[in-house]
Amino acid sequence: MQRLPLSYLKPGMKTYEEVYDAQGRVLCGKGVELTEEMIKRFYELGVSYVTVEGTPVKLPWEKSLEEELSELEKRFEGVNDENLLQIKEILKELLYEKYKARIHQS
Amino acid sequence: MKNIKQESINPDPSEKRKEVKKKLRKLEGLPTLPPIIQRLNQMIEDERTSLHQIAEIIEKDQVITTKILRLANSAFYGFPRKVSTVQQAMMLLGLNVLKILIMTSSIFEFIHKEDIGLWEHSIGVAACSKIIAEKIGAGDSQEIATAGLLHDLGRVIIMVVLKEDQPKILDLISEGVDPLSAEKRVLGIDHAEIGAFLMAQWNLPERLIEAVASHHNLENSKKYRKEASILHLSDLLVHARGYGKTLYESLPPFEVRALKYLGLGWGEIKEILFNLEPRLYELKFFTEELKKELSS
């Protein structure tokens, strides 16, 4: 799954979850293939993001789990304060979970 | 070694400090406040003015309207839906925050152009501050998000107004001096104090000024220690997550008592970081959009 702003949506992408309007009403169900018309309607109704199936868009700023982990190590290089190390552990957990979710759901 | 360097750079930091403050008072080299601010201040003071009238005045200024709506729609305020009118922004953010956004929009513009890393850091801290404020129920979380946005205002001011001193600060940092001490040695004042000084000149709310002034030194805060602690913790967490870029190559110094002041344990920190992640994801699109505009 990939969460994308409207400007990144293309007809043919499939919704991964429901899309809601400003009043919280469902505009579009799960697993629906987007059309030009629907995307236009999302704009009109003030939707900002839609989560779609798979990872159809390659975002140039996105890093791999390995890159994320090695950068995390670098930021915490030489740190031995136990509180900071606690934060590092939480971030590691967050990264593993984030990337695990990606593999499962894409 | 470091002492020798200090003397060759700046024989008397207190003299330099006076000089810096003088410059700040005159706002030399800074973009002037938009004229609409004066008009707005008059209207806000006049109790007969309705919010609707105020919104109308702002909407007449297309440039400012665009800037406000863009900021209101960026993920750091975290509204689930698009904010499309000034009136909506006013309802959601409050007049106070709206006024601050208008006043500081020219500064933000400068950060976009000169230092996109610092901009990313600032919006990351804004988003995180808002999440923490909501978590602990520290009133007006939009205002705290705005304090987060402005917490490194002093850094921007150093880049704009004190340009010629900037390389000396960077030199000291590359020699291993920590950024805050480097600023103090060269300027006799650090970015937290500079930011707060300017915010006071602009008559921004005391709560924001004190939070910004104390975000690297919590003992400095009096009435708004919670707010200062929120900025302090957000600053650390956003650095730790590696979002944006500042003078700190790794992590800024952390005062663990911030957690005590906020009544937060590790379970809550984890929750905050997990809530922050999707916000940062959305903010990345916002920054990319800005970058595209700047290069076109």
Distance CA B273, CA B128 (A): 8
Strand (E) or helix (H) holding B62: helix B62-73
Structure tokens at A7: 């400007």
The answer as to whether A99 is a domain residue is: yes
The answer as to whether A57 is a domain residue is: no
Q: What percent of chain A has pLDDT over 70?
A: 96
Number of domains in chain A: 2
Distance CA B137, CA B271 (A): 15
The answer as to whether B6 is a domain residue is: no
* Residue numbers of the domain that contains B151: 12-295
Residue tagged 């302090």 (tokens): B232
Structure tokens at A58: 């390659």
The answer as to whether B27 is a domain residue is: yes
Per-window interface: A 45-74 vs B, CB < 8 A: 46-49, 59, 61, 68, 71-72, 74
Are B236 and A46 a contacting pair at CB < 8 A? no
CATH label of the domain that carries residue B54 = 1.10.3210.10
Q: What is the mean pLDDT of chain A?
A: 92
Q: Could you tell me which residues are beta bridge partners of residue B104?
A: none
Q: Could you tell me which residues are beta bridge partners of residue A2?
A: A52
Return the sign of the alpha-carbon dihedral for residues B283, B63, B156, B255. negative
Structure tokens at B1: 């070694």
The answer as to whether A6 is a domain residue is: yes
The answer as to whether B66 is a domain residue is: yes
Distance CA B263, CA B278 (A): 24
B280 burial via Cβ count (<10 Å: 0-12, 13-18, 19+): buried
Based on the domain organization, do A74 and A45 belong to the same domain?
A: no
Among A67, A91, A99, the residue to mutate for chain B (most B Cβ within 10 A)? A91
Return the sign of the alpha-carbon dihedral for residues A63, A66, A67, A70. positive
The answer as to whether B3 is a domain residue is: no
Based on the domain organization, do A77 and A98 belong to the same domain?
A: yes
Looking at residue B127, what is its pLDDT? 94
Number of domains in chain B: 1
Yes or no: say if A6 and A36 are a contact pair by the CB < 8 Å rule. no
Q: What is the pLDDT along chain B (296 residues), one digit of tens a residue?
A: 444 444 455 667 888 999 988 888 877 556 556 667 777 777 777 778 788 888 888 888 887 888 888 888 887 787 777 888 888 888 888 887 888 888 777 777 777 777 889 989 999 999 999 999 999 999 888 899 999 999 999 998 898 888 899 999 999 999 999 999 999 999 999 999 999 998 888 778 899 999 999 999 999 999 999 999 999 999 999 999 999 999 888 899 999 999 999 999 999 999 999 999 999 999 999 888 877 777 77
Yes or no: say if A15 and A34 are a contact pair by the CB < 8 Å rule. yes
The answer as to whether B244 is a domain residue is: yes
Chain A hits for B282, Cβ within 8 Å: 3, 5, 49
The answer as to whether A58 is a domain residue is: no
Q: How far is CA B220 from the centre of its chain?
A: 18
Task: Give mean pLDDT, residues A67-73.
Answer: 97
**Digit-coded pLDDT (tens) for A17-39:** 999 887 788 999 999 999 999 99
The answer as to whether A34 is a domain residue is: yes
Yes or no: say if A61 and B284 are a contact pair by the CB < 8 Å rule. yes
The answer as to whether A60 is a domain residue is: no
* Residue numbers of the domain that contains A44: 2-52
